[in-house]
Amino acid sequence: MSDLSILKTRPSLRERVFLSSSAKTYPHATAILLLLPFLAVLSAGFAYPLLKLIALSLPDFSPHHYLRIVREPLYFGVLMSTAMTAMSVMVAALFLGFPVAYAMTRLKHRLALVVTACVLIPLWTSVLIRSYAWIVILQRNGIINEGLVALGVVDAPLRMIYTQGAVILTMAHVLLPFMILPVFSALRAIPPEYVQAARTLGSGPVHAFVTITMPLALPGIFAGCVICFVLALGFYVTPALVGGPGSMMIATLIGQQTTVLLDWPFAAALSTVLLILTLTVILIFRKTRSLSKGLNGGV
């Protein structure tokens, strides 16, 4: 019997787990009863509030508030600006995080532990504290401006705080661990023998990285991009502190509608649009990954 036929007849992990004799000992009624607590929590904590939110955004089944988002340039501009900012943050986190994740897989044990600690420690720090730290760094009398003036690079302090660039930089720093960890997990799962075999067959380091490492790391890259993009869409504190009123995002707009203007139906419509945008992005990433060569569907 050939190796290929042996692989075809060998049961997969999913079949061994879900089709084993121990998995068949529970009847359907017992399985449903075991799922009831989870379904109750899911219904009370997610499904019911979501349905109430959608119902609130459609008073008398009228799509007035949704049409208002499209018709009024201010609200539609905030929605598009939020999407573009989230995309920029995702790209920045990818370009900054991938080299760190790649270095973590190549460093020796002690140095790798130090780099891993530097990645994980920010997750234990409040987002508010990290945002205030960037305010200290980027303000007119901050570290960067004082250094540039002292070196004679500029004559007067630059305006770096309360700009869109400051928002993207700060959000990318906050979300960087969520990009590094999935990419690191994917890179660490790649057997080093693959790259060694490619180098033995004549591939250079760049060619081996592009043809071997990058395709096998795509699942981690997709996961990190989805996490960073979805989290960036709903950011509230960081854009409000670092960007100021000129960098309003949709989460800030929703908060303004609920706490200042008390327009709850319109805030519900904005929240529903944000949810639809998030689900659309996840489906796009899922479809893109499923069409990628050598990958299974799903994120």
Domain boundaries, the chain: 68-291
Average pLDDT value for the chain: 82
* Mean pLDDT, residues 92-98 taken together: 94
When pLDDT is cut at 50, 70 and 90, the band that residue 201 belongs to is confident
Q: What confidence score (pLDDT) does residue 164 get? A: 86
* Three-class HEC string of the chain: CCHHHHHHHCCCHHHHHHCCCHHHCCCHHHHHHHHHHHHHHHHHHHHHHHHHHHHHHCHHHCCHHHHHHHHCHHHHHHHHHHHHHHHHHHHHHHHHHHHHHHHHHHCCHHHHHHHHHHHHHHHHCCHHHHHHHHHHHHCCCCHHHHHHHHHCCCCCCCCCCCCHHHHHHHHHHHHHHHHHHHHHHHHHCCCHHHHHHHHHCCCCHHHHHHHHHHHHHHHHHHHHHHHHHHHHHCCCHHHHHHHHHHHCCHHHHHHHHHHCCCCHHHHHHHHHHHHHHHHHHHHHHHHHHHHCCCCCCCC
- Sorted by sequence, the CB contacts under 8 Å of residue 225 that are 6+ apart come out as 90, 94, 179, 285
CATH number for the region 68-291 comes to 1.10.3720.10
Amino acid at 115: V
pLDDT at 15 over 60: no
Say what percent of the chain tops pLDDT 70. Answer: 88
pLDDT at 60 over 90: no
Q: What confidence score (pLDDT) does residue 2 get? A: 47
pLDDT at 147 over 80: yes
Q: What pLDDT, in 10s, does the model give residues 232-251?
A: 988 888 888 888 777 788 88
Q: What confidence score (pLDDT) does residue 179 get? A: 93
Query: Which is higher by pLDDT, 92 or 31?
Result: 92
Q: What confidence score (pLDDT) does residue 3 get? A: 45
- pTM of the entire structure? 0.79
pLDDT at 298 over 70: no
